[in-house]
Structure 1
Amino acid sequence: MTDSATYPSLKDRVVFVSGGGSGIGASIVEHFCRQDAKVGFVDVDEKSSRELVAAMTDAGYHKPHFLPCDLRDIEALRGAIAEVRSALGPITVLINNAANDQRHDIDEVTPEFWDDRFAVNLKHQFFAAQATYPDMEAAGGGAIVNVGSVSWMIGQGGMPCYTTAKSAVAGLTRALARDLGPKNIRVNCVVPGWIMTQRQIDLWLTPEAEEDLMKSQCLKRKLYPEDIAKAVLFFASDDAGAFTNQSYVADGGWV
């Protein structure tokens, strides 16, 4: 992990991260811990999540508060948010990160699968915001960062439910920014390109795919989770106090 900027406003800030156990989410958790924030996170991957908690605790940071949670269960999500609030204090930063880019063919999609993919990739973002914004309002302000995807911008095929849900994250961001702005709550979206998480490397990265990516990106290097985590830190911090209602594309110049 390379050095990052230090944001004094994030010190001791209570942050809730969805999907924080691996990939981009784990890097987000780690980066907030390194800012001395108090981090609560949920994930379905208990093994990786507990390993991350141990690593951050051993490094001397505030111990992250991990709760296993399937975000398709909104009541479980609400319960996890309440438990983090009880353990760490009022939540003033929300990072809506959790998603799953499962590939699927048009002819395979049933109404049930469609609803399931929207539950995994979109629905929980709204309900997490609904459950946390009162804390932010009471504190005089806060920040919500939604994580999107360039998949719909580049017209990627092979996963229509995912790309449709991710396009809706941009609309959700703008809607929440408008409604919550009077409460001094900023809402932005960070839009990753192809980020080399272990999942992506294991499932999709081939020499041919990498060659095509390097032709498409302006930057001729692969992007990694920390590239996204650093952008998320900025939008969560008071340094981004004038930024809201924005979708910030972090894709190496692919789109």
Structure 2
Amino acid sequence: MCRASLTLPNKQKWEADYGRTLIDLAKSAGIETYWISTQGVFGQFDTPVTAIAKKSDHSIFLNSNYEERNVSDLNILKEFQKIVKIKSHKPRLIVLHTMGSHPLVCRRILDIKDPYLVTDSNLDTVACYVTSIKKTDLFIEKVYEILEKQKDDGGNPFSIIYFSDHGQVHTQTSSQIKIHNNAVSKLHYDIPLIKIDSGQGESVTLESQKSGLNFTEGLAHWMGIKNDQLSEYDLFDGKNDPEDYGLKEKIKSIKTPLDKAIDISPYLKEN
């Protein structure tokens, strides 16, 4: 879904259109585009997204193949700070493409000094997953701090959108609970979408259901872009999409039992 969500796709067939990408859209409106990634440049799932990324005015890949090298998402921050310091009269779209909580999740948190630790080794991977969420929170916090500092130094207001393109599922082996993308779950489609604006007041939680097939149009609205090929679509209007293009039926057809939450709090131990 990530590839389709970054283009103006064929919504009936759920197919990406690489001739009409988010980057093309932003550039057509005079927005300078940047892409910084810790995900791989090459690979079955990476190469199509790389094709979109390389349309950017400036693209930086910190990893060639994430299965071979483990590059921390926090490494993005140095490159991001360099870009933010560049004086520009143009509006800018900066895409930070992170690994997040992808498997193998315990590899993603090696640079976190205070990971969650558990007394039950069966829950080690779950503890790593919770720590990876903590790391993502830290990453977003640092991005906000960098942007807030440049605004305080006479820079421009800013807006951040964070989203994930899929969820994950846990399965039980004979010795351990594992977290991965390989098993099908209804919760694969229940993913976070967050917007943080400079000067924002108190937070608001919306329960509306949005389709990734409309995501690029939603980002166009966020960036203030209008053209004849775009529908007026607000990701944060609090309204359910009137059309889900068969998603509800697809989710209904998944027979795998719901992936239940795991509470590790009774097993936590001090670092």
The question of a shared fold, defined as TM-score above 0.5 by the shorter chain, is answered with: no
Larger Rg: 2
Q: TM-score, normalised by structure 2?
A: 0.43
Instruction: Report which of the two has the higher share of helix.
Output: 1
